Amino acid sequence: MLKILLARLKQGHRTMEYPSGPAPPLPVRFRGRPAIDATKCPDGCRRCAEACPTQAIEIAGATPEIDLGRCLFCTDCIDACPEGAIEYTREYRLAVREREDLRLRPDREYRLAAELDARLKRLFGRSLKLRQVSAGGCNGCEMDVNVLNTIGWDLSRFGIQFVASPRHADGLLITGAVSENMRIALEKTWAAVPEPKLVIAVGACAISGGPYVGHPEVHDGAGSLVPIDLHIPGCPPHPLTILDGLLRLIGRLEDENRRVSP
């Protein structure tokens, strides 16, 4: 027993200090918010849009517009662009409140998620219980959500916890493209959550259907069935991206502006 206690003392404090301290290091292969250099976009070029597997890119005039709600954060658009107009940054802050705010343009600031209104913040700001629903997910987003419950992240220190029953929950955290086989289950789970309640959509599938968008057996994300209060894009989003979005929603980040420069 003494050896166990000594070993534990040597390990020290294992939970990261974020958000009071620096953000944890991101992996070398991390792909954050895309950046578009409009000066490199030749007129009439549509190669990036044609290469995108989810039609997440539209050409507005001569400039690409990326729908981060559909973006899989793959490299097809980058590989297809002959001028290198699109690149991934290290920016992990991606969560927004409104679906339209996920449309990324080089001439528009990216609006990060605003906190809940005063009434809901008073209710949920110190204690937020969520029922997680995997509505046809591949387990990618589900695993990165689960990471937040490990000792290194310790999501519960912010008063955010996952519960087994929707009747004990303040809202739903949804992953997956919402397959037809999960439609009724999602609707019943949503109905079982007492008012007032929230919905958080995590990942491209839950926001738009992801790679399955337009398929007759999916409902192109949760927004067609339930109202979404927080959109966290990615495929899957990094745990830090998910945590950042959750803390913004409940007003636990006080350090920065709500907008990110394009």
- Residues 225-249 have pLDDT tens digits of 999 999 999 999 999 999 999 999 9
CA 104 – CA 109 distance, rounded (Å)? 8
Mean of per-residue pLDDT scores for the chain? 90
Give the mean pLDDT of 203-219: 92
1 compared with 228, residue with greater pLDDT: 228
Q: Which residues contact 143 (CB under 8 A, 6 or more apart)?
A: 236
**Res. 254 pLDDT band, cuts 50 70 90:** low
CA 172 vs CA 46, 112, 137, 146, 222: distances in Å = 38, 20, 15, 15, 11
Whether cis (ω within 30° of 0) applies to the bond prior to 233 is no
Q: Which CATH architecture has domain 34-92?
A: 2-Layer Sandwich (3.30)
Q: What is the pLDDT of residue 262?
A: 46
Looking at residues 100-105, what average pLDDT do you find? Answer: 94
Using one digit for the tens of pLDDT, what is the confidence trace for 180-210? 999 999 999 999 999 999 999 999 999 999 9
Partners of 171 in the beta sheet?
Answer: 130, 198
Kindly list the distances between the CA atom of residue 11 and the CA atoms of 5, 14, 129, 157, 232, in Å, as whole numbers in the listed order: 10, 7, 31, 20, 33
For the chain, the domains span 34-92, 118-260
Which one, of 241, 243, 253, lies nearest residue 204 by Cα?
A: 241
Q: Is the pLDDT of residue 110 over 70?
A: yes
Q: pLDDT digit string (tens) for 11-53? A: 766 788 888 888 888 999 999 999 998 888 877 788 899 999 9
For residue 10, pLDDT over 90 is answered with no
| pLDDT at 94 (0 to 100) | 97
Task: State the pLDDT at residue 38.
Answer: 84
Give the per-residue pLDDT at 44: 73
Contact 208, 166 (CB under 8 A): no
Fold of 118-260: Rossmann fold (3.40.50)
